[in-house]
Structure 1
Amino acid sequence: MIIQPILDLVAICAKKGIENAILSPGSRSAPLTLAFARHADIHSRTISDERSAAFIAMGMAQQLGQPVALVCTSGSAALNYYPAIAEAFFQQIPLLILTADRPPEWIDQWDGQTIYQQEVYGKHIKNSFQLPDSFEQKDQKWHAERIINEAINLSRQFPAGPVHINIPLREPFYPDPEETYEFPESPREFTVLTSQKQLSEESLKHIQNRLSEIKKLVIVPGQQKPNPQLQGVLDQLVKEKEVVVITDTISNLQSESSVSLHDHFVGNESLFEDLKPELVISFGKSIISKSLKQFLRKSNCSHWHIQENGEAKDTYRHLTRVLACSPLGFLNWLKINLQVQDSEYFQKWHALEKTVLQTLPSAFSESEFGEYPALNLILKKIPPFSKLHLANSMAVRYVNFLGKRNQEIICNRGTSGIDGSNSTAVGCTFTTKEPVTLITGDMAFFYDRNAFWHNYPMPNLRIIILNNHAGGIFRLIDGPAKQPELEEYFETKQRLTASHLAQEFGFHYDFAKNQEELENALKDFYQPSLQPKILEIETSSPKNAEILKKVKSKIQEAIKG
């Protein structure tokens, strides 16, 4: 039997601009699966592992800036979505999660595939909705249409994020052979009209009075997508007003004008007084640099955060104002109304940046082969138009140490877990024909191997694995590094390589354990191919820790002069 309100739901999705759906197989979700698969305006793909499916959908939505629908059956399938939903929530990525469910009278009655699915995602969802458990009454159909409109609208409203609709379905739900699918041409739709928030003239007057006292302003953008307009106004603030703009790699706002090698010197106690700001203005989401966070927390300076919906984000523990407006609008106002900042203070930051930039090449030329110098070489070979996905742990930190990047940087820093890095990159490949490069450690890579367990081509995917056969970051953290249980319980040493996985999935595979092999492997790594390519670099975790320590030491010597 065809459940017409489910066809109406899918028609509303298409009408409201949802063009992609990721479906995971199951019987209870069959009405949803068939409706999405048979709608001409929605591209549906099937991914068997729900955890990977959710990260793939998130990787797509992150690039598209539009919600992607996720469909799964009842029971634990919905729970497997949770890691990606939490990541999407904190990254502010829109998702429409549609979970099929048993009728309410059968929950907790020893019936198969039943759990408590209503509001199952708790606080990690913008809102959770429950569709009616039958559609016998006209008002129930009207209610269902209202819910789907409300959910999609909410997923897009700032801050964007995941929404959940739980859908109880009764048997029979497979169509009879003589039945045909008829989607409504004009399904019920309502939209939300929004406007950009602006600060009042009175508020701007108070801000201008406070800014007249400031001569050491620092701007810190957090994680966000590339934005040429923001980039332009930040560069103007640097050049015309001598504002110090500090950019982590995930800000996607690094330029020749910004400070991007700060991780090498902001933790230096001897420089603290010289670098301490009077005011920090931030916007966007999180930053990577722990040393920058600690530096700003210690500085005891005022902090203003620009957040369009007015939510307080007190990352540096000294929040004094939340500016409920768009970052671009405020920074354009700042460009006109800010006085020129302290030139000596500005020069100190940029002199340190220059010292690190000049020291890094010689530090690497004197280094043994390891993942840090290997990555320094690799980054020079990645095409500037490639999307660059970075797994958490050391991959994203190494790239942050190495300064300005031209590629768009994508990293799951909402929850900062290692799960889902592969799948997020796979989702990205479904949205672009440009190269998609994933740099990952061995732990994150093998954790998410089911990302590749599907039947869709990914010829533009390039994977670089830094395989030290362990969670090497724990060797760099004072606590676990000093414990006798380091290797077994923290690094969790393993002997895997990706060669068998590459053979299993039909990927091109290269392996390097020294500089010469790496250079040879990179020669045609970005040449077009019909299959994804893996380049695995094998190193030693203890040696990697030693190399990082020596590079840091050389930089500190150069800073001291």
Structure 2
Amino acid sequence: MTAPNRNTLWASIFVDELSRAGLRAVCIAPGSRSTPLTLAFAEHPDITVYSLLDERGAAFFALGLALANESPVALVCTSGTAAANFYPTIVEANYAQVPLLVLTTDRPHELRHSGANQTIDQVKMFGDHVRWFVEVAPPEANPPATTLRSLRSLACRALAATQGLPPGPVHLNFPFRKPLEPTLVPGDVPERLADAPWQRPAGQPFTQFSRGQLLPSNQQTRTLAEAIQNAPRGLILCGPRCPGGDFPQAVTRLAQAAGYPILADALSGVRFGRHTVEAEGLIFGGYETFWRPDTLRVESPELMLRFGAMPISAALNDYLASATGCRIVQISGDGLWQDDLQTTTDFIWADPAAVCAMVTEQLQQATPRPNSTGWLAALQQVERQTWQTFAHLRAESFFEGAILADVVELLPEAALLYVASSLPVRHLDQFARPSSANLRVFANRGASGIDGTIASALGAAAAIGQPLTLVIGDLAFYHDLNSLLALRRCGLKATIVLINNNGGGIFHRLPIAKFDPPFTELFVTPHGLDFAPAASIFGLEYSLAADRDTFRRIFAEAMASASSHLIEVPSDAVFHEQMRREMIRRVTEETVKK
């Protein structure tokens, strides 16, 4: 390896080692101080570079890439407020456990706290939201081999830290002096770099990191199997961020062996997929509608097994808060506590799929217990009734929940669906019926902000290489309009369903809705924006769909098209809330009758 100066050498070694350690993508926002890293990434043949114009959009794009790929993505920016624009993404990545390697560049130490332009304090600027922070040593002239070995070791350690328990963002701050460009500086670089003992042969990483699987003990799984044997009335709750891989199949087989239904969050990875076919009616999705004291007239469960984060469903959270007499077992592969209601009675820190598989095997070998088929059958009947009621309601009225159901039904095989926070993800959770459709569903539910949704979704599309469908509200769309430029810059195809209820529709669910003023002006904040020009600016085809037949036709056409589409659906938030409550009322009425 040759280099014209110390900065180029420093950056080239670091980026080369990242590639050896497995990094395959980087998102770069333009800037001067980051020139050494930018050029090193641009020249590396094994790392895909995504060039995004603004730092906030670049960061959320990287988040989507890493979330969908389940592997680290690097993020590069210049100094000053450029780095501060990464902050919302880093907060989301922290709570959503997304592996991001954040590489900020900085002025050298002598320019800090001196009034130098574009210089802020970047040391530990992201606080406890990162798994690890390192102030990288400034590049040296003619560095010894130990220094270069430490740089390679740092690259391997930092990338491994993004994939730790739990995964998350890591921040490295690189101070660079001028020249930032690959200008020749005599004496800056060792003369015989190729013979230096600071790299491994044949592209091997300098330090190879690997992690074993945290398997449960026989005692843990035997105790859990016995608890299931002694509790005929049981539930399995799969919240957001359940493991991927073989977990959906493993938890489905556990449900069959235990005779327990699975309440599968829309973001769990369990509600949709081939495993639902063998589940034989054990995977539920209608609980936000029926799991309420006035609707559900069955005995309380004796045992609950919880996987993943807390569920989206407000009704289910309310029920969990009241389930003080139920044994609740939380099973976590990363050891993180996911229970803001503080109702967990047992915590098993072990690989969830392995726990499911071992407990299933022990249940299959045990003497069959008297089951509670009547209890399970009653729950299955309410689940069926919920979807029958919804079918009638959506045939009568076109409301926001029906839009999400139509989208899920019309998506092609192996589709990518991203949903915005606030109302769209709640609509998906309440109104999308479990199915065998092979869908990949994502949302930013770490900190549940609405910012950066478009960029995140486009990053996921770039990772998967499939056309994207994004369902988003008007405020989230307005918040991230500039990220639509990534469609053209990155050669992506997207269909964006924009549900426009002219403001913050979710506030109609809250008690503050009864207090107007100031409800409309300060909470709903109606904007009256026309979004058609946005489609024109960024090169999307635009359509307006005000009824169900029109929407289904336009959406199906967009799925078959090679172009990106913006489908705007005007909505009345008050009417939607009325329909949501009507759905609950009808299901309650039908359930009480039976």
Separation in 1, partners of 2:257, 2:182: 67
8 Å contact kept, 2:21–2:205: no
8 Å contact kept, 2:513–2:519: yes
Which of 299, 304, 320 in structure 2 is aligned with 1:280? 304
Q: Deviations over 1:101-141 (max 9, x none)?
A: 11123222111111221111111111111110232442433
**2:101 partner SS:** strand
For residues 31-70 of structure 1, what are the structure 2 equivalents within 5 Å?
31-70=36-75
Letter in 2 for 1:504: I
Which residue does the alignment assign to 1:150?
157
For residues 46-445 of structure 1, what are the structure 2 equivalents within 5 Å?
46-136=51-141, 137-138=143-144, 139-176=146-183, 186=203, 189-224=206-241, 227=244, 229-254=246-271, 255=276, 256-269=281-294, 271=296, 274-300=298-324, 301-338=326-363, 340=369, 341-367=371-397, 369-402=398-431, 403-405=433-435, 406=437, 407-445=439-477
**2:557 partner SS:** coil
Separation in 2, partners of 1:114, 1:481: 48
Give the C-alpha shift of residue 516 in structure 1: 4.1
Q: 1:516 to 1:211 in 2, by over 3 A?
A: closer
Give the C-alpha shift of residue 54 in structure 1: 0.7
Q: 1:228 to 1:353 in 2, by over 3 A?
A: farther
Matched, 1:554 2:558: no
Larger mean CA deviation between 387-396 and 511-520 belongs to 511-520
8 Å contact kept, 1:267–1:295: yes
Separation in 1, partners of 2:169, 2:572: 40
Matched, 1:537 2:569: yes
Larger mean CA deviation between 68-77 and 531-540 belongs to 531-540
8 Å contact kept, 1:10–1:35: yes
Separation in 1, partners of 2:205, 2:402: 57
8 Å contact kept, 2:260–2:282: no
Which of 12, 20, 32 in structure 2 is aligned with 1:7? 12
Give the C-alpha shift of residue 188 in structure 1: 5.7
8 Å contact kept, 1:433–1:460: no
Letter in 2 for 1:18: L
Q: 1:252 to 1:202 in 2, by over 3 A?
A: closer
**2:544 partner SS:** strand
Separation in 2, partners of 1:190, 1:73: 28
Give the C-alpha shift of residue 457 in structure 1: 4.2
**2:267 partner SS:** helix
Larger mean CA deviation between 142-151 and 64-73 belongs to 142-151
Q: 1:431 to 1:209 in 2, by over 3 A?
A: closer
Larger mean CA deviation between 446-455 and 414-423 belongs to 446-455
Letter in 2 for 1:395: P
Q: 1:497 to 1:380 in 2, by over 3 A?
A: farther
Letter in 2 for 1:106: L
Instruction: Tell me how large the CA RMSD over aligned residues is.
Output: 2.4
Unaligned runs of 5+ in 1: none
Separation in 1, partners of 2:67, 2:452: 14
Q: Percent identity?
A: 27
Which residue does the alignment assign to 1:478?
511
8 Å contact kept, 1:275–1:348: no
Separation in 2, partners of 1:332, 1:6: 46
Give the C-alpha shift of residue 251 in structure 1: 0.7
**2:236 partner SS:** strand
Q: 1:383 to 1:270 in 2, by over 3 A?
A: closer
**1:404 partner SS:** coil
**1:31 partner SS:** helix
Letter in 2 for 1:156: Q
Separation in 2, partners of 1:543, 1:522: 23
Unaligned runs of 5+ in 2: none
Separation in 2, partners of 1:384, 1:44: 29
Q: Deviations over 1:64-105 (max 9, x none)?
A: 121111000011111111111111122211111100011123
8 Å contact kept, 2:240–2:308: yes
Query: TM-score under structure 2 normalisation?
Result: 0.89
Matched, 1:515 2:542: no
Larger mean CA deviation between 466-475 and 152-161 belongs to 152-161
Which of 523, 539, 547 in structure 2 is aligned with 1:506? 539
